[in-house]
Structure formats: C-alpha cells, structure tokens
Amino acid sequence: MLKDLTYLDHGGTTLAPKSLLKSFCDEMQRTLLANPHSDSTNPSVTAIMVEETRLAVLKMFNADPTYFDVVFTANATAAIKLVTEGFSGQDEGFDYCYHRNSHTSLVGVRELAHSSHCFASNEETEDWLAGGNHALDGELLSRRPMLFAYPAQSNMNGERLPLDWATKLRLSLHHPHSYTLLDVAAMVSTTTIDLSNHLFAPDFITLSFYKIFGFPDLGALIVRKAAGHVFDKRKYFGGGTTEMTTCIEESWVVRKESSLHARLEDGTIAFRNILALKHAITTHRKLFGGLEEVSKHASWLAKILHERLARMAHYNGAPVCQIYQSKDSSFRRSRTQGPTVAFNVCRSNGTYIGPWHVGASLRASRIHRSGCEERLMQAIDAIPTLTS
C-alpha cells in the first residue's frame, strides 16, 4: 500500500493492518449476518456480536457496563450531534460553554444553545470551574441545563487538556444542572482514557474508531448512565428505537426503555462495521499490546521530531520552522502534549512559505500529508508574504 510513501496523517486516520482486513473478510465469508431488526435466528447472531463488541469497547477504557453504555454512531461528529439533540429538546433549552481548542463539530453546538461562551484559555476555564468568571453570573439563577464541552487533545497543536475538569464541574456548587462532553477522538488514537471511576468520569465521551484502528469507519458515544435522562426529551426517533407508533388521529410513540443504546441508535446500525470493530480491537491488542504501548512510541517520535524541527536553521541562523505550542504543554510530558507538531515553514528573512508550496515539496518527496489549520491561518493571514 505505502511502497515508498511516508505517511504522516495518523491524526486523520491511521492505516489498517493487513491482518485486520484479512480476519474481517474471513469472518464475513463464513458468517451470515442478518439485519438485527429482522434476524430470525434465536438468539440473534448479529445481536450477540453487536453486544459483545459493545462490551469490548467499554473494556478498552476500563468502563463498567453497570455505569456506562455505548451508542454506535457514524463518527465522533454524529455522536456530538446526538448529545446536542438531547439538550436542545429541553423545555427551556440549554446553555453551552466550550474551550477555544474545540474543533468545528464542538463549536457548532453553540448554534442550538440558548446562550454560549467560549473560554479563551485554560486559566479562564479553571476560574469558571472554581466559581469565578462574572460573565456567567446568571448561571446560578438559570434552570436550564449547562453543557461544557472540550477536546481531550487539540487538533491544532496536540495540547492535552486536563481530564479532571469533568470532576471539578460535577463537584462544584457553583454549576448546578451541568454536564461535561469530552471529545477524545484525537487523543485515543495514541493513548487511552481511564473511565474506571464512574463518579469522576465525563457524562458524554465521543470518539471515532478509524483514528485508532484505521478501519472501520465508525464512531461511538459513551454515555454515563447517570446522565442518560438528558435524552428523555429528545424529539426525533428512528426505526428500531420504538415499541409502537401511531400516525392517524392521535399521534403518539412508545420508545424503547431497555437501554440507552436501544433508544438512541436510529435505524439499522452499521452491523458489518461493528463486526469489523470487533476484529480491530482484537488485532490491535495482538499487534501492539494496548494503547499504552502506542502512547510510549508515539510520544517518543513526537519529542524527537519537535527537537529536530526546532534545531533547523538557515545559513544566517534564522529558524526554518516556527512551532506553535501551548505554554501549558511539553513534549517531555505526554500527559500535557500529544504527538502532534504544528508549525509554519519560514524563509531566511522570516517570512512564511505558504502551505500549498510546502505541500507541493512534500508530495514531491512522497510524504503524506501537509495541511493548514484554520484558526492559525486566521491569526497570520494579515501577513502579505504568506503565499508569495
């Protein structure tokens, strides 16, 4: 597949190992998987496989199925949207706070909120959690639920934000009716998250499995069951999530109550992708021994790359790379920094070389990939020499 290509887009999606694809195809050839909504086998082969995989996902993150449930989605964005549907169905709406490192899918939630606020820094976030931040004084008087969302790892510069913010919010007397949405899609591609203590865990965790395994194209919402009531007023319902509906004269619906996933997985779930996920989890464990080992290797590579880029200089001593890193993170501490290095390439006179030109040079050297981060580009787009 790669031949002489250097692949540097594991943050977008890693590459699926050959053994995963083979084991999945082998089982597809020997196992009949029917649509779980119409599977006549007793017990349903498909349903058993799906539930086994659901439990395997929880085990990956040390999450006890007594306290957590897994809802399969198309990707992390679909999982975020599902949470938003639950909050937007509340009678008085909801208020929304999010960190500046949030990616587009987390930012988009604000459009459905009654009010929203973006925390510009970790310090502002900590101040709010401690009961400060006068801009949000009305929160104590509001009966609306509050959703606080942030990414565990920044897509822009790889900064890893404090995982204890969810705990601080839950224990705070200043923030009644508050919930935490943690997007771990970027972080869990190279490290794990521990949900063994359900009392301190985020209420909603979103992720994409293709970032971890390369295949399948599937996401999930991990829900802390204690927060499951948020979905009670979700308005939309799809096939497979109801016991009965009527359309003529009185219109009413009886929704499934057996589990959270039973009433949130609209339509036929991607059961073949879920089978692939089952094989992906097993194969990944056999090859790498778990995400902890991946984390050690990826962190070491990022540290070496960062050090070498920082040392690169032109003939006149001017740096070749301007590296963008949070003041709160260090490549020597994987708890604060993921294996992402954000930088601009500079000329000897200090002007920037545009991302298109950098990308063209990389493609000529068979390196995939380069890209440009919208937030960073907005900050420097006033520089006239950016693409000259």
Give the 3-state secondary structure of residue 281.
helix
Mean pLDDT of 357-369: 90
pLDDT at 352: 96
pLDDT tens per residue, range 269-322: 999 999 999 999 999 999 999 899 999 999 999 999 999 999 999 999 999 999
d(CA 204, CA 185): 13
CB-based burial of residue 330 (10 Å sphere; 0-12 exposed, 13-18 middle, 19+ buried)?
Answer: middle
Give every strand in the sheet of 321-324, ordered side by side: 321-324, 342-346, 352-353
Residue 160 backbone dihedrals phi, psi, to 5 degrees = -100, 120
Tokens of 300: 């070491």
Percent of the chain with pLDDT over 90: 77
Position 172 pLDDT exceeds 80: yes
Residue 385 in this model has a pLDDT that exceeds 90? no
Q: Give the position of tokens 């890209």.
A: 371
Q: What is the pLDDT of residue 203?
A: 99
Phi-psi region of 299 (alpha: psi -120 to 50; beta: other; left: phi over 0): alpha
CA distance 143 to 93: 9
pLDDT at 138: 61
Give residue 105's Cα distance to chain centre: 10
Domains of the chain as residue ranges with CATH: 18-286 (3.40.640.10), 290-380 (no CATH)
| Residue 182 confidence (pLDDT) | 99
Task: Kindly indicate the confidence band of residue 382, based on its pLDDT and cuts at 50, 70 and 90.
Answer: very low
Query: How confident is the model over 123-142, as a mean pLDDT?
Result: 76
Tokens 């996933």 map to which residue?
Answer: 261
Average pLDDT of the chain, as a whole number: 91
Residue 146, pLDDT above cutoff 60: yes
